[in-house]
Amino acid sequence: MFKKFITKIKHHNTIGVISHIRPDGDCIGSQIALCRWLDNNGYTALAFNDDDIPDNLQWMASYFPVEKPDVEKFEQCDLFILVDGNATHRFGAFAEWHENHPRPVWIIDHHPNPDDGFEVVISEVQASSTCELIYRLYEEDNIDQIDEEIAKALYTGIITDTGSLQFDSVSPETVEITANLLRIGGFKPNEIAEALYSNKTLAQIKLLSLALKTIEIYEDNQVAIMYVTQDMLNDTGTTYSDCEGFVNYPLSVEKVKAAILMKDHGEEGIRMSLRSRSEVDVNIWARELGGGGHKKAAGAWHKGPLDTAINEVVKIGSKQL
Ligand SMILES: [Mn+2]
């Protein structure tokens, strides 16, 4: 899968690796593990992300520095690799800069329907995560280059993108790879799980309790919707970044096939996270709303207000029930 990639990259020296806006464990894990591979193999790697790295992933950033976009540093790069996304607009300031500064762009990703125009495309929809793909890069090149830090970064991406190996994107190979990473890295699963999940503040739990009260069921128990408003954030002293994982609660109601978390951003509209645990394809659902993602997890915006958003979004989703 990476044969051409490994050969072709020899023509480059300074490589900018960019992870998508609103970063998650998979994009940061794959970005860091790829930068370490580049570094190990004599390239100069620079890592960029528009947004702050979430608190529960900060520990990973000590393995390789992830910087804010910097035009002067962009200028130094003779190649860019986008990880965990397949449309340039998902990569923030780089997208705008690149319009006027054409340079080759490659992608490594597992989302469906990549945009045209990328010079090298490693796109595997069957892969559980981009980190699973970066593991295969090491496997095809030199697996001995995976050290404890790289193993932890790759493991984290796989765990966070698969709901701790629970989603149907998980193959026997995914589990074998995570086992190998534990063996190579010499760490225990609880070490990463605690860093990722056991760091909730009391304010986050109070916000969760307000959000849980909003769960309503639609379409004969098949769709569950939960929402968070700015008043709830004000009452608990939280921000929307504190809603991580909330959507799993409406999704866990019995018989529910798909769930949506709606975050009311007032004038800006409603930000929606859609999740499925059935044949319902939330990527199709979100695309009809101008968003997108995967079959089982997607996102979109609605102009609001909340009541209208709920009615319209349920109506669109009901076509798949
Ligand atoms: Mn991913």
Cα dihedral sign, 76-81-85-86: positive
Structural contact between residues 72 and 46, judged by C-beta atoms closer than 8 angstroms: no
What average pLDDT does the structure give for the chain? 96
Does pLDDT of 181 surpass 90? yes
Q: How far is the CA of 111 from the centre of ligand 1 (A)?
A: 8
Better pLDDT: 17 or 294: 17
Q: How far is the CA of 110 from the centre of ligand 1 (A)?
A: 7
Q: How far is the CA of 229 from the centre of ligand 1 (A)?
A: 27
Q: 67-101 pLDDT, tens per residue?
A: 999 999 999 999 999 999 999 999 999 999 999 99
Q: What is the pLDDT of residue 218?
A: 97
The CB density around residue 243, as the number of other CB atoms within 10 Å, is 21
Q: What is the pLDDT of residue 81?
A: 98
Structural contact between residues 301 and 291, judged by C-beta atoms closer than 8 angstroms: yes
Does pLDDT of 271 surpass 90? yes
Q: Helix, strand, coil % (nearest 5) of the chain?
A: 45, 20, 35
Q: How far is the CA of 160 from the centre of ligand 1 (A)?
A: 8
| 55 Cα distance to chain centroid | 15
Instruction: Select the CATH number that applies to the domain covering 3-197 from these four: 3.90.1640.10, 3.80.10.10, 3.40.50.1820, 3.30.70.1090.
Output: 3.90.1640.10
Q: 133-170 pLDDT, tens per residue?
A: 999 999 999 999 999 999 999 999 999 999 999 988 99
Q: What is the pLDDT of residue 238?
A: 97
Sequence-separated (6 or more) residues with CB below 8 Å from residue 161? 24, 25, 26, 128, 129, 130, 131, 167, 169
- Where along the chain do its domains lie? 3-197, 202-318
Q: How far is the CA of 21 from the centre of ligand 1 (A)?
A: 12
- For residue 215, name the pLDDT band (cuts at 50, 70, 90): very high
Better pLDDT: 55 or 32: 32
Task: Report the C-alpha gap between 320 and 259 in whole angstroms.
Answer: 13
Q: What single-letter amino acid sits at 309?
A: A
CB within 5 A of ion ligand 1: which residues? 26, 84, 129-130, 161
Q: What is the pLDDT of residue 244?
A: 87
- For residue 282, name the pLDDT band (cuts at 50, 70, 90): very high
Does pLDDT of 241 surpass 90? no
State pTM to two decimals: 0.84
Task: Report the C-alpha gap between 20 and 295 in whole angstroms.
Answer: 19
Structural contact between residues 31 and 66, judged by C-beta atoms closer than 8 angstroms: yes
Q: What is the pLDDT of residue 118?
A: 97
Q: How far is the CA of 236 from the centre of ligand 1 (A)?
A: 30
Instruction: Select the CATH number that applies to the domain covering 202-318 from these four: 3.40.50.720, 3.40.190.10, 3.30.230.70, 3.10.310.30.
Output: 3.10.310.30
What's 50-74 look like in SS3?
CCCCCHHHHHHHCCCCEECCCHHHH
- For residue 207, name the pLDDT band (cuts at 50, 70, 90): very high
Does pLDDT of 200 surpass 90? no
Q: 113-137 pLDDT, tens per residue?
A: 999 999 999 999 999 999 999 999 9
Q: Any idea which residue has 């990259």 for tokens?
A: 9
